[in-house]
Chains A and B, each alone.
Chain A
Amino acid sequence: MDKQVVSFNLNGEAVRVRCDPFSSLLSLLRDRLGLLGTKAGCGRGECGACTVLLDGLAVNACLVPAGKAEGLNVETIENLSRGGSLHPIQEAFVEKGAVQCGFCTPGMVMSAHALLKSDPAPGREEIRKAISGNLCRCSGYVQIEEAIAAAADKLKD
């Protein structure tokens, strides 16, 4: 299979990786780069477990061809808790009981991260819209929404 070198910025570091450019960014992150925090739930953009930020916008890594990352900034869940301390969004998820099985959590946190970057004080409806592409089967979303609202308050301080 023809391979291509794709260069992009991953969690603040430049990476160059030879890969199948048509394969998904998800498989590049998980299978080639060993970043297993981004989860795979459906492979069709229908569950949001693989949500990462592409130039600051939430996308389904399973629907992004690896070649599309060329020259862009890719941010994954691994970037949020560097140095061992939790990001305020993650703290809020812990405090509000927003994590049950935890499988949707990384994608959910990344959607929240994208939201709070663009809207530091979202209302409950904005929060719901922002996570509407992330399925969670455990929580009924209530505590996730509470956590994102609490994270917004934390980030303001």
Chain B
Amino acid sequence: MIRRNIKAGEGKEGFPGARGFYDPEVWAKVTGRARYGIDLALPGMLQGKILRSPHPHALIRNVDLSRARSLPGVRAVLSGTGLGAKPYGIVFDDENPLALDRVRYIGDEVAAVAAVDEQTALEALQMISVEYEPLSAVFDPEEALLKGAVTLHDDFPGNIAWENRINRGEAEAAFKDADLVVEDTYALPSFHPGYIEPISCIAESEKFDGLTLHTALQSPHIVREILAGVLGLSISRVRVISPVMGGGFGGRVYGNLKLYLLAAFLSRAAGAPVKMQLTREEEFTVGRPMVAAMIKMKMALKEDGTFLARQADIITDNGAYSAQAPWVSKTLSERNDSLYHIPSISTRVRLVYTNKVPTGQYRAYGNQLANFACESLIDRAAGKLGMDPLRLRLKNCIGPGDTSVHGLQIKSCALSRCLQDAADAIGWTERKKGRGYGISAAIHAGGSIVFNPDFRGASARARLELDGRVTIVTGEQDYGQGAHGAFALIAARALSRVPGEINIVSRDTILTPFSIGALGMRQTTIGGRAVQLAAEDLLARIRDCAAELAGEEVVPEGGAFRTSSGRLIEPVGIAAFYCAKTSGLALTGEGRYVPEKSDYDQSGYGNIAVTYSFAAHACEVEIDRETGALTVHRFVAVHDSGRIVNLLTARGQVYGGVAQGLGMACSEGYIFEEGRVANPTFSGYRIPTALDLPSIETLFIQTDDPEGPYGAKGLGEIVQVPTPAAVANAVANALGEPVNELPLTAEKISRLLHGWECAD
């Protein structure tokens, strides 16, 4: 099954035509002509701004909008009580577009203004007076769980937003019988996706029923449904049009629902289009970072290194409102269990409300957070057993044909090969003195079939145009990860065309089939498979039409058709023939990829995705033993994402994912002071610059997956999953003692090295 390795820069470039082709919009982007959300404007457009709570927790006694309303240039001023909106949410309905009687974090939306320009809108905000009655607030999730802690939401006593227990096998017995038990507690802060383009939108509300929202989203169809629900509109009267997206990384799956809702409400009240845009500070203080996590973990092993059981008690910090945090917490608490053979699992996860910025999601859904704990603990076990951490992993790896402890059905899998190749590439057997080495592995689901168990797949349309080109119409989304390019390559392959002859239409909910969107590594796997099927369907129809036109049998030949008498019939001629024959229609193929229904049960056991991708990352680090400064010198990322569609973009995904993972490992993370985000800027929230990254080597082990299009699997999320743990393990190796907290700042490492305590 395993084909061969592709090293970056040599050998195959991916699917036919991949060389020199990767993004139909690249020309527009590189010349500055691509239009992003911040670039959009409509005639008569107003600017919207939001008044936010300065208190982490308070009752709203009164909101006086009268002075703001009388300011010239102001077109609409709204507070929560005037909206008449129902609470909404993604998993549960715990939010209001504007606060009604209570604010729950610094930044909570209290009032909104639309005015002729930004300056006037900002002035109007200052003229709104709000009387607050401050309440005591809780910032630490463990404190929020204590009896007597202040409660954020009356519907959620004890501040538990969501809780889950998973028991598989016989964990308790396994821990009793184990030769070795290792345990530790791991802490990770909130991380922000850190896309460089701040979220913005323009809402055009119609008078009675209707909304057009211009904003870049990874899941526009799903957002459309939520917006229609909260705004009381018919779904088909809500249209979401996405401009080019300045980065997503999970942060734009739902984007900032509150911003869209308020823009829609303001537009409705003002009778004009309203543009709203988050400032960079708002991105950090009211955007939706991923949950912070505290992971208490225990592992049972046999003397020979066989994994017996894992137990985890996980607390995730939800912040004030929930968004996707329950799903993130679920992935976080489970996914790593399927990376190895672990017969028994006992996990409890609690998602806890605190008076801090609400959370959402970020690339890989928390898998990387738990990976840090799991893979660090495996290294500790290896240390106790006196066993090479690589060998311990190889001994327990899951493999092709296996069903994991949670019921995941692994079809293609080159995990052990990833580990071995990563170790070889970093020089595992000839490790230099004075340097630290670490390795970590990961699994990630590609193409979720349980996000909505009844809606598991994707569909696409393919249309033969009059110029002979083929247009693919898809509801899936490109946010720079290369989905459009991949779709063009897949369609081109099915149609024996060059990818440059394929048009991609997406980004508009009235033109495209319903889709779940860019999440759960489903674009290439599920979306791409639908494109393949649509293209194949179209090819069959073109062939039939060619035969009808020719009046004889035809066989495909390089995108055209050869008749039995030897004539060549080009697509242009076929398109014209069909258009005339039908008085205007185009030949259209439909592709529907409907994965088998999952056996997924109430306990969360069962297959959850069509494919599973695997990876191993390894690195070499050096520590300045005086200052504690960490330098990552070399990094190797080996991935099994099936057949690689486009090597150039695949490499780009890995480099970028590793960079984000290194940010988590070394320098990123929210810092709070009494509930206030202390680092709401790009200078305080330190995503890596070009001077912060090591040399990164990428390697792909190409398996042939039976489900993915032409054997391809997902890559976009797994790329950062093993990175933080690989770095942490290398640091632990260099220090000779474990690390259990990210990011690994020089100060933290210095404290570990010199054992000093922090007094403040």
Contacts and interface: CB of A to CB of B under 8 A. Distances in A.
Query: Touching in the complex, A and B, CB below 8 A?
Result: yes
15 contacts: A36-B39, A39-B196, A41-B197, A43-B280, A44-B280, A49-B197, A76-B32, A86-B31, A94-B27, A99-B480, A105-B32, A133-B689, A137-B660, A142-B652, A143-B655
Contact of A132 (B33, B198, B691): B691
B690 A36 contact: no
Interface stretch (B242-250, B320-328, B742-750): B242-250
Interface in A60-102: 76-78, 80-81, 86, 90, 93-97, 99-102
B479 interface: yes
A41 B278 CA distance: 10
A136 B481 CA distance: 13
B185 interface: no
Nearest to A38: B32
B648 A103 contact: no
Contact of B652 (A100, A103, A104, A129): A100
B29 A135 contact: no
B195 interface: yes
Interface in A106-154: 106, 109, 127-129, 131-145
Interface stretch (B137-145, B405-413, B546-554, B679-687): B679-687
A102 B652 contact: no
A46 B682 CA distance: 6
A77 B654 CA distance: 28
Contacts of A127: 690
Interface string B378-389: 000000000000
Interface size class of B (residues with CB under 8 A): 35 or more
B319 interface: no
A26 to B, nearest CB: 11
Nearest to B198: A41
Contacts of B179: none
Residue of A93, A104, A139 most packed against chain B (CB within 10 A): A139
Given A86-B31, A97-B648, A99-B29, A140 B659 contact: yes
The 10 A-B pairs at the shortest CB distance, nearest first, are namely A37-B32, A101-B480, A102-B29, A103-B246, A140-B655, A140-B659, A77-B32, A100-B480, A46-B682, A97-B648
Nearest to A93: B30
A54 interface: no
B482 interface: yes
Contact of B690 (A42, A44, A78, A128): A128
Q: Is the interface of B mostly helix, strand, loop or mixed?
A: loop
Contact of B196 (A36, A129, A137): A137
Contacts of A38: 32
A11 to B, nearest CB: 11
A143 B652 contact: yes
Contacts of A109: 30
A53 interface: no
Interface stretch (B17-25, B488-496, B564-572, B705-713): B17-25
B690 A39 contact: no
B696 A102 contact: no
Contacts of A90: 30-31
Contact of B280 (A41, A136, A143): A41
Interface size class of A (residues with CB under 8 A): 35 or more
Residue of A41, A100, A101 most packed against chain B (CB within 10 A): A101
B61 interface: no
A142 B127 CA distance: 49
A70 B280 CA distance: 29
B289 interface: no
Contacts of A58: none
Contacts of A93: 30
Given A42-B280, A47-B682, A131-B690, A100 B656 contact: yes
B249 A86 contact: no
A40 interface: yes
Interface in B25-63: 25-36, 38-39
B33 A138 contact: no
Contacts of B196: 39, 41, 47, 49, 101, 103-104, 135-137
B693 interface: yes
Given A41-B198, A42-B682, A102-B244, A97 B31 contact: no
Nearest to A46: B682
Nearest to B683: A46
Interface in B56-75: none
A138 B574 CA distance: 41
Interface string B664-700: 0000000000000000011100011111010010000
A132 B480 contact: no
B398 to A, nearest CB: 28
Contact of A39 (B20, B246, B482): B246
Interface in A10-53: 30, 36-44, 46-47, 49
A77 B31 contact: yes
B98 to A, nearest CB: 25
Contact of A37 (B31, B245, B660): B31
Residue of B26, B36, B39, B249 most packed against chain A (CB within 10 A): B26
Given A90-B30, A96-B648, A99-B23, 11 more contacts: A36-B39, A37-B31, A44-B280, A100-B482, A101-B29, A105-B29, A127-B690, A137-B247, A138-B480, A140-B654, A143-B648
A121 to B, nearest CB: 18
Nearest to A127: B690
Nearest to A43: B280
Given A40-B38, A100-B481, A139 B652 contact: yes
Contacts of B280: 41-44, 46-47
Contact of B36 (A39, A42, A86, A100): A39
A68 B35 CA distance: 28
B279 interface: yes
Contacts of A145: 690
Interface in B372-423: none
A94 B691 contact: no
A81 B479 CA distance: 24
B506 interface: no
B649 interface: yes
Contact of A142 (B30, B38, B198, B696): B696
Contacts of B652: 97, 100, 138-140, 142-143
Contacts of A43: 279-280
B658 A140 contact: yes
